[in-house]
């Protein structure tokens, strides 16, 4: 660069940013080896980190994890055929690699190094319902405001492998990082949050997910509150003001001396809903109040649950020092995620029908919320394909039977119930239930997705129908969604 350019006023006054001195590449072999205590076979650089050889793309570091039934080292050839630049391995191989004693421990060490080197504001998200959607919405908001300098865990990478993998993928130059944390048992979120070390910790809601393992709603609330244990000094705990467990969550946060921000309809909420009315695109026009101001914005996703989710998003963005106006624009543009609210127009006799894909997850609270959304959806007929809700244990029959009320309230014309656990709802609907308009509810109960596909084909989806597909992921209703959304 010429001396004249270096003296130009625009160059001289260009704002300095410490991140500009950080590497553009994700990791070099030298940096990986130092972080994990391993030995590099070659000098190489990687642009991503992946543990599934099928998902490897050019420039990735492939981590050959070993489990009880699978050894990633068997897939090294596949990973390098797909473009891997190097691998993390526990034995010498012919490909460029970093040699370590334990690849799982090395992945955690790489995650710790990624967290240590970043100056990004980190947001952690957990909750019984809505954590993936809220995580994606926070990311979209901060990505927009930072012009591409935000990072997040993809899909539902929220467990003991997904969280360190997501951390290891975080570029050094990131300004924001958003990480989802999930659990099945007490103690799991504590182990994850101490890796993530968030500046902002969000709990979306408390509902009876995983109650089979935890035994009570209070235990679920305590397990979710473990996310506060990893908060950095001066951190912020964001909790649902309308939850019956608000005081319990608040007490957990206060013990740690962190700042508490609540969201919801309650008068004491810090991010408080003032008004929400239907918008032209099927979502909601939301007005909220917070210390120092008010904001009006549109939420593209339909349903009251997304109105509440948006308040959590706004609270998190504000706490992280993000741009709330940019968050409003991001919420207005967000579409549903695959398996978590994606809406499909499908070709059927007479024209188009709507299929709402909620096939990835289900618990009593999310079932009620999405059935209410179905009831508010303009349609000729409403069809609910409901899969079993898992991990409810001895509480399962009562929670499944209790779905009769929201099914009736949603004015469902045909309920297709999938899985043995749905027998409790079938028995309840068999008690001469009728819709809010007094017409009987037609229903059928089957064992699996293949039978559900046949029954829905026989029933026949026609133009103007709205079809909700929701169940726990293990039921496999994603295959039903693929079947009916496939171009015919």
Question: The domain spanning residue 405 has which CATH number?
Answer: 3.90.190.20
Does a structural domain hold residue 9? no
Three-state DSSP at 49 gives strand
Q: What is the mean pLDDT of residues 98-122?
A: 97
Q: How many structural domains comprise the chain?
A: 3
pLDDT tens for residues 70-82?
Answer: 899 999 999 999 9
**Is 306 found in the same domain as 203?**
yes
Q: Do 204 and 270 share a domain, yes or no?
A: yes
Residue 208, domain CATH:
3.40.1190.10
Residue 217 within any structural domain of the chain: yes
How confident is the model at residue 148, as a pLDDT?
93
pTM: 0.85
The answer to whether position 109 is within a domain reads no
Highest mean pLDDT, choosing among 93-102, 360-369, 428-437: 93-102
Mean local confidence (pLDDT), 260-268: 97
Considering the domain architecture, whether residues 375 and 471 belong to the same structural domain is answered as yes
How many other CB atoms sit within 10 Å of the CB of residue 62? 31
Q: Which pLDDT score is estimated for 486? A: 86
Same domain, 136 and 284: yes
Residue 108 within a domain: no
* Together in a domain, 326 and 348: no
- Model pLDDT for residues 397-451, shown as the tens digit of each residue: 999 999 999 999 999 999 999 999 999 999 999 886 555 556 678 999 999 999 9
- How far apart, in whole angstroms, are the C-alpha atoms of residue 10 and residue 401? 69
Of the candidates 89, 72, 85, 83, the one whose C-alpha atom is nearest the C-alpha of residue 33 is 89
Contact of 184 with 391, CB cutoff 8 Å: yes
CA-closest candidate to residue 263, choices 301, 302, 316, 222:
316
| 62 lies in the same domain as 200 | no
- Choosing from 74, 102, 130, the residue where a domain stops is 102
Tens of pLDDT, residues 463-474: 999 999 999 999
Distance CA 238, CA 250 (A): 9
Co-location of 39 and 148 in the same domain: no
Chain centroid to CA 196 = 16
Q: Kindly indicate the confidence band of residue 239, based on its pLDDT and cuts at 50, 70 and 90.
A: very high
pLDDT at position 20: 66
User: What's the CA dihedral at 23, 26, 27, 28 to 10 degrees?
Assistant: -60
Please indicate, yes or no, whether residues 29 and 166 belong to a single structural domain of this protein: no
For residue 32, the domain's CATH number is 3.40.1390.10
Confidence of residue 68 (pLDDT cuts 50, 70, 90): confident
pLDDT exceeds 70 at position 19:
no
Q: Is the dihedral of CA 187, 201, 183, 416 positive or negative?
A: positive
Q: pLDDT value at position 210?
A: 76
- If asked whether residues 301 and 164 sit together in one domain, one would say yes
CB distance 65 to 107 below 8 Å: yes
Whether pLDDT at 23 is above 80: no
In a domain, 49, yes or no: yes
* Domain limit, last residue, from 277, 309, 333: 333
Q: How many CB atoms lie within 10 A of CB 94?
A: 9
Co-location of 218 and 276 in the same domain: yes
Map residue 242 onto helix, strand or coil: coil
Q: Is residue 135 part of a domain?
A: yes
1 part of a folded domain: no
329/431: higher pLDDT: 329
Q: What confidence tier does 15 reach under pLDDT thresholds 50, 70, 90?
A: low
- pLDDT for res 340: 84
Structure tokens at 460: 């026949």
**Is residue 111, in this structure, part of any structural domain at all?**
no
* Same domain membership, residue 370 and residue 446: yes
* 150-152 and 200-203 strand pairing: unpaired
Instruction: Check pLDDT > 80 for residue 321.
Output: yes
Verify that 64 and 133 share a domain, yes or no: no
Domain endpoint, select from 288, 308, 333:
333
CA 412 to chain centre: 28
Q: Which domain holds residue 319?
A: 118-333
């Amino acid at each position: 660069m010429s001396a004249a350019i270096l003296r130009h006023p625009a160059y001289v006054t260009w704002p300095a940013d410490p991140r500009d001195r950080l590497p553009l590449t994700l990791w070099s072999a030298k940096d990986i080896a130092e972080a994990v205590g391993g030995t590099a076979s070659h000098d190489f650089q990687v642009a991503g980190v992946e543990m599934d050889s099928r998902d490897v793309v050019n420039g990735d570091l492939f981590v050959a994890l070993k489990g009880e039934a699978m050894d990633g080292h068997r897939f090294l050839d596949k990973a390098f055929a797909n473009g891997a630049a190097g691998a993390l391995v526990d034995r010498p191989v012919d490909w460029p690699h970093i040699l370590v004693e334990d690849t799982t421990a090395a992945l955690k060490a790489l995650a710790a190094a990624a967290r240590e080197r970043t100056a990004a504001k980190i947001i952690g998200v957990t909750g019984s319902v809505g954590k993936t959607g809220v995580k994606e919405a926070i990311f979209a908001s901060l990505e927009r405001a930072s012009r591409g300098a935000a990072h997040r865990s993809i899909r539902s990478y929220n467990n003991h492998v997904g969280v360190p993998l997501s951390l290891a993928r975080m570029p050094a130059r990131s300004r924001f990082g958003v990480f989802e944390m999930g659990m099945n048992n007490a103690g799991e979120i504590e182990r994850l949050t101490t890796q993530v070390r968030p500046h902002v910790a969000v709990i979306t809601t408390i509902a009876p997910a995983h109650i089979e393992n935890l035994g009570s709603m209070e235990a679920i609330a305590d397990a979710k509150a473990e996310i506060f244990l990893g908060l950095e000094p001066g951190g912020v705990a964001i909790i649902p003001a309308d939850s019956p467990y608000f005081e319990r969550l608040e007490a957990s946060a206060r013990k740690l001396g962190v700042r508490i921000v609540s969201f919801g309809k309650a008068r004491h909420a810090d991010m408080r809903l003032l008004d929400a009315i239907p918008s032209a695109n099927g979502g909601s026009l939301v007005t909220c109040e917070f210390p120092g101001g008010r904001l009006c914005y549109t939420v593209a996703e339909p349903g009251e649950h997304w109105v509440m989710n948006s308040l959590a998003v706004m609270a998190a963005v504000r706490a992280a020092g993000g741009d709330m106006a940019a968050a409003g624009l991001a919420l207005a543009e967000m579409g549903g995620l695959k398996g978590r609210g994606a809406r499909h127009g499908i070709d059927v006799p007479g024209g188009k029908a709507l299929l709402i894909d909620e096939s990835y997850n289900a618990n009593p609270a999310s079932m009620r919320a999405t059935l209410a959304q179905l009831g508010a959806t303009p349609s000729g007929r409403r069809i609910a394909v409901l899969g079993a809700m898992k991990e409810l244990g001895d509480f399962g029959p009562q929670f499944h039977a209790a779905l009769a009320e929201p099914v009736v309230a949603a004015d469902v014309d045909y309920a297709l119930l999938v899985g043995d656990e749905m027998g409790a709802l079938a028995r309840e609907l068999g008690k001469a239930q009728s819709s809010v308009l007094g017409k009987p509810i037609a229903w059928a109960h089957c064992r699996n997705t293949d039978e559900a596909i046949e029954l829905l084909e026989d029933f026949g989806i026609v133009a103007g129908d709205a079809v909700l597909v929701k169940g726990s992921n293990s039921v496999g209703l994603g295959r039903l969604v693929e079947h009916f959304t496939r171009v015919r």
